[in-house]
Amino acid sequence: MNSSLVSNQSGRPFCLLAISYLETINFCLLEVVIIVFLMVLIISGNIIVIFVFHCAPLLNHHTTSYFIQTMAYADLLVGVSCLVPSLSLLHYPIVLSESLVCQIFGYVVSVLKSVSMASLACISIDRYIAITKPLTYNTLVTPWRLRICILTIWLYSCLVFLPSFHWGKPGYHGDVFQWCANSWNTDPYFTLFIVVMLYAPAAFIVCFTYFNIFRICQQHTKEINERRVRFSSQEGEAGEAQPCPDKRYAMVLFRITSVFYILWLPYIIYFLLESSNVYSNRVASFLTTWLAISNSFCNCVIYSLSNSVFQKGLKRLSGAICASCARQRVAKDSSTSRSKRSSNGCHV
């Protein structure tokens, strides 16, 4: 019998957040509520982002839209994969063994979040090239090279976490599966491998590129303002300070990157502490993991609130949906009125 279908030795279901839940409930209510809530937000939010990108051609003028859409698809798959632990917590029958389901789910989530992390690093590199080499940017960054880069991101993410099936837990810790919590341990060497191959390079690239981007933008803004002041003083007009044209878009991407690492920092710290046998706690494991997974919804919120072009595309999409609903309602009302008139004519 599948071990996910049975309760623990006390007769209660296996719950990481088993804090005063009702005796009559035979599944983990609090965990189910948290995971299903995040699943709905992640899926709905990223579907909206994907539709807006397809319906707003102006958004595709930026090469970073390739990586933003890659992140949206990866985050959407994270939301869909959350259905697996939801069914497990509800004690829904699973055909495969719990250990295999646990390993596959941990691997898939780790790969998808690695794609998001690598995409953020590539976005920062793209903006760095756009600001440092504006004249040769279009020849360096081509659609063909962007597709190759995205394909490399997916392949690299899959390969980095592939040893987890034999080496140890890849980094997923919200162990709703009992086998994951009791039998699948983290390995310090595998943790060091992941940090060296993924976390550290991505963090270094992001810090290096955005530091230089804002330094260059600040320098450009200073030069532009000095020139405007010089020309305006000659013409007798007061010049207004003008920001760097690329700084606003860089700030949007910087916010997305900052929130990503803020939400993932507790998870990474716990990952390192647990791997080194310094600290281990099931509640902290669950909360840090699902806090990190919640970033899959935060990306679309930040982008929709920060990007004016995205907001226009969202308004256009919502307006088209409302207009379509209105036309359907009018057509339905007109067909209803015609049917009523025809039925009245038959009774005359």
Kindly report, residue by residue over 33-82, the tens digit of the pLDDT: 888 888 888 898 888 888 877 776 656 666 777 888 888 899 899 888 87
Domain range annotation of the chain = 23-226+245-315
Q: Please tell me the least confidently modeled range out of 12-16, 187-191, 266-270.
A: 12-16
What mean pLDDT comes out for the span 231-248? 57
H/E element holding 315? helix 308-347
Residue type, position 110, single letter: S
DSSP symbols for 71-140: HHHHHHHHHHHTHHHHHHHTT---SS-HHHHHHHHHHHHHHHHHHHHHHHHHHHHHHHHHHH-TTTHHHH
Closest by CA to 289, choosing from 270, 303, 311, is 270
Does residue 155 register a pLDDT over 90?
yes
The fold of the 23-226+245-315 domain, in CATH, is Rhopdopsin 7-helix transmembrane proteins (1.20.1070)
CA atoms within 13 A on the CB side of 262: 8
* Separation of alpha carbons 287 and 289, rounded Å: 5
Torsion sign over Cα 202, 203, 206, 212: negative
